[in-house]
């Protein structure tokens, strides 16, 4: 399968949109001290401002993904990018916690279907054997956007005020959204069932029960989604609280603490493509590699976290955390590829949306809040020491899921997609 110029053009825009998705989502974490000074917010309230976005994504991802799968990927993505950019701009004009909380919810609504739509489009535009590698490169935009958001937030806030931080990062999303309406999409796929029929029987339209069974009976998919949630609990908590940790424990100004914390997650720009590349390469010899590699990387991340927060300080701790920046996101490309590998091509956006619902309800929406609550009760250092447990749970779930992956792939429908 030859990859077209349109595929690379669409991929470039998807990469930039995902980057600004995370800039807009996480710029707030470097603004915590400024908000606490102006409005007297607690750590729990600050954690809620992060969790608000993920709660919105949790609630709206599934219904929006149905629109993405059954209507248009490019139109849905373009409209969503406009919406989350407007919501980010509205944060400039908020005057209290409730208003900012509402604006953050609106950001999440705009971002709800972006990952499912982008993943489905990439899965259609690039061949299956390169799926994890391409998704790995795409997901490198997450740490890049996260690091930029964390770093830019503190820098802009110190120089211009925290309100300007929201206004400045909102603008590029509008431009990229308008450009995305020009990309080529694939024709919406009919939901036809063929694998369960004899060769001489015609395909039949999938019923609601057929669709439901796809997501209930695929054990590798269920375990993959739960493992995702356990790992995302950790990554979101770290993204939210590392700048504040350096600010408090090392007595750094927030601009420097934001850069220091952002650099850790920025190194995931190596880990995401590396995880995709290694899993695709290993898969040539070991079919279940797309679940085994995340199991290994999750276990390694758990060990690094345990040592870094339990036994190290200063430069040695920071060096360990930089290594964590590489390993902590290596599970993502292979795990996302699994959500596409074991479902009907017409259900790919919905499949990732279910993954997102699970990872946000059990992971992203709880991680920042959990750490914030423990920090209020004990201290932030103590709260961060609990995170290795969740990485290890993810490792175990990925490992168990690997034993069901091959049979789930073999039972999945295969459809040739048409790009218009």
Q: What is the mean pLDDT of each run of 10 residues along the chain (420 residues)?
A: 76 94 90 91 88 87 87 89 94 95 94 88 86 89 86 88 92 91 82 57 76 89 97 91 88 83 84 93 93 98 97 94 94 94 88 88 87 91 95 98 94 72
Closest CA to 236 of 157, 311, 309, 143: 143
pLDDT of residue 418: 65
**Other beta carbons less than 10 A from residue 38's beta carbon:** 13
Beta bridge pairs of residue 419: 186
Contact 206, 192 (CB under 8 A): yes
- The three-state secondary structure class of 286 is coil
3-state SS, 124-177, equals HHCCHHHHHHHHHHHHCHHHHHHHHHHHHHHHHHHHHCHHHHHHHHHHHHHHHH
3-state SS, 185-240, equals CECCCCCEECCCCCCCCCCEECCHHHHHHHHHHCHHHHHHHHHHHHHHHHHHHHHH
Contact 366, 233 (CB under 8 A): yes
- The three-state secondary structure class of 419 is strand
Closest CA to 1 of 189, 129, 190, 135: 129
Q: Domain 11-184+208-410 - what CATH class?
A: mainly alpha
pTM value is: 0.79
Domain boundaries, the chain: 11-184+208-410
pLDDT of residue 277: 94
CA 179 to chain centre: 23
Contact 205, 193 (CB under 8 A): yes
pLDDT of residue 198: 45
Environment class of residue 280 by beta-carbon count within 10 Å: exposed (0-12), middle (13-18) or buried (19+)?
A: buried
pLDDT of residue 179: 92
Closest CA to 310 of 386, 385, 237, 390: 385
pLDDT of residue 197: 44
């Amino acid at each position: 399968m030859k990859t077209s110029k349109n595929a690379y053009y669409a991929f470039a825009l998807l990469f930039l949109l995902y980057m600004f998705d995370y800039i807009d989502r996480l710029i707030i974490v470097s603004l915590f001290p400024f908000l606490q000074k102006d409005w007297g917010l607690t750590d729990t309230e600050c954690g809620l401002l992060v969790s608000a976005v993920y709660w919105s994504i949790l609630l709206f991802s599934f219904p929006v993904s149905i629109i993405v799968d059954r209507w248009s990927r490019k139109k849905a993505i373009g409209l969503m990018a406009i919406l989350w950019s407007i919501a980010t701009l509205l944060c400039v004009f908020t005057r209290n916690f409730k208003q900012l909380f509402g604006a953050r919810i609106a950001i999440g609504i705009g971002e709800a279907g972006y990952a499912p739509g982008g993943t489905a489009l990439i899965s259609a535009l690039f061949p299956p054997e390169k799926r994890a590698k391409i998704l790995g490169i795409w997901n490198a935009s997450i740490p890049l956007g996260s690091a930029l958001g964390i770093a830019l937030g503190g820098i802009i806030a110190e120089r211009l005020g925290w309100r300007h931080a929201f206004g400045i990062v909102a603008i590029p999303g509008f431009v990229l959204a308008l450009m995305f309406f020009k990309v080529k999409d694939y024709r919406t796929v009919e939901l036809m069932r063929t694998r369960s029929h004899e060769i001489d029987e015609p395909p039949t339209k999938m019923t609601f029960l057929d669709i439901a069974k796809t997501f209930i009976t695929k054990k590798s998919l269920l375990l993959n989604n739960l493992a995702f949630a356990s790992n995302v609990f950790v990554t979101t908590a770290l993204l939210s609280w590392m700048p504040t940790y350096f600010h408090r424990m090392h007595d750094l100004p927030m601009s420097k603490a934001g850069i220091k914390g952002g650099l850790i997650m920025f190194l995931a720009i190596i880990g995401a493509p590396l995880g995709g590349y290694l899993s695709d390469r290993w898969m040539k010899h070991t079919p279940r590699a797309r679940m085994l590699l995340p199991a290994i990387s999750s276990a390694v991340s758990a060990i690094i976290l345990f040592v870094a927060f339990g036994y190290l300080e200063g430069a040695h701790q920071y060096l360990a955390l930089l290594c964590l920046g590489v390993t902590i996101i290596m599970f993502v490309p292979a795990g996302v590829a699994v959500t596409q590998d074991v479902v009907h091509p017409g259900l790919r956006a919905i499949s990732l949306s279910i993954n997102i619902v699970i990872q946000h309800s059990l992971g992203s929406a709880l991680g920042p809040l959990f750490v914030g609550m423990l920090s209020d009760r004990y201290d932030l250092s103590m709260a961060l020491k609990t995170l290795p447990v969740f990485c290890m749970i993810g490792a175990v779930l990925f490992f168990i899921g690997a034993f069901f992956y091959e049979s789930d792939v073999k039972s999945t429908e295969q459809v040739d997609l048409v790009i218009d």
